């Protein structure tokens, strides 16, 4: 999946953060990606940016707030950060950018109770 051609490379989407755009450009430069890989890469970049936005909000506002009855509640950004990190990790796994590793079976071993 390494990129050997010097064809026109897609540019990173402008709505991404600068660091994320740089990472997008580096991945596109390093690997030969099919159109569906580019969509996965874009989604991964958006998930990374969303997780970072949520982390910044948590750093600014804390992890809890007090509701109208005076009870502490988790901020919604906690779930946003968690979900975005999971999405990013899963999308990276789908992109399979690690070319030096030996392909391992994708499925976990079967359970004896399912046989």
Query: Considering the entire predicted model, what is its pTM?
Result: 0.78
- pLDDT value for 63: 96
If you average pLDDT over each of 6-10, 69-73, 104-108, 109-113, which comes out highest? 69-73
Mean pLDDT rounded to a whole number for the chain:
88
* Closest C-alpha to 76, from 63, 66, 86, 89: 63
Question: Which two tokens mark 88?
Answer: 């990013």
């Amino acid at each position: 999946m390494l990129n050997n051609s010097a064809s026109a490379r897609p540019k990173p989407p402008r709505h991404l953060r600068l660091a994320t755009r740089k990472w997008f450009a580096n991945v596109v430069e390093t690997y030969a990606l099919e159109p569906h890989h580019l969509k996965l890469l874009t989604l991964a970049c958006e998930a990374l940016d969303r997780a970072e936005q949520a982390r910044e909000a948590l750093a600014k506002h804390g992890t809890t707030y007090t509701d109208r009855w005076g009870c502490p509640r988790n901020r919604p950004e906690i779930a946003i950060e968690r979900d975005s990190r999971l999405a990013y990790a899963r999308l990276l796994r789908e992109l399979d950018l690690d070319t030096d590793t030996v392909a391992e079976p994708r499925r976990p071993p079967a359970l004896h109770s399912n046989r």
